Amino acid sequence: MPVSGTELTDFTMQHCNFAYGTLADNFLAECTITDSRLIEANLDHCNLRGANLAGSELHNISATGLSIENADLRGSSFNNLHPRDISLVGVKLHYNQLLALVQPLGLVLEPDPD
């Protein structure tokens, strides 16, 4: 039975396969989860504000109530962080990651004309 509602003061997970795992209902603000595989992970109501998620795979995550303001997502891959559902204020990204965020909004990115 998973432990929920846990408040962790220091949490680091690097180079882990956490696919299908759950971090739901946990306070993990400013934690480090880098270069890890979180495909299909349950992050419902998880507080990851200011977390370092650089280089992690976040495909098909469950993210109801997820808090990721000011998180570092540089180099991570994701496909369902919907800007209408999740606050992305202060999130750090690389330019090439913007397409994954604007597609759910129906926007089309085109290169600048020369």
How does pLDDT run across 61-109, given as a tens digit for each residue?
Answer: 999 999 999 999 999 999 999 888 999 999 999 999 988 888 888 888 7
Under CATH, to which class is 1-7+25-100 assigned? mainly beta
> Is 60 exceeded by the pLDDT of residue 11?
yes
**Helix intervals (H) in the chain:** 98-102
Distance CA(35)–CA(56), nearest Å, equals: 4
**pTM attached to this predicted model:** 0.85
Tens digit of each residue's pLDDT (9 = 90 or more) over 19-67: 999 999 999 999 999 999 999 999 999 999 999 999 999 999 999 999 9
Report yes or no: 14 and 34 within 8 Å, Cβ to Cβ.
Answer: yes
Q: What is the pLDDT of residue 41?
A: 97
Q: What is the pLDDT of residue 2?
A: 52
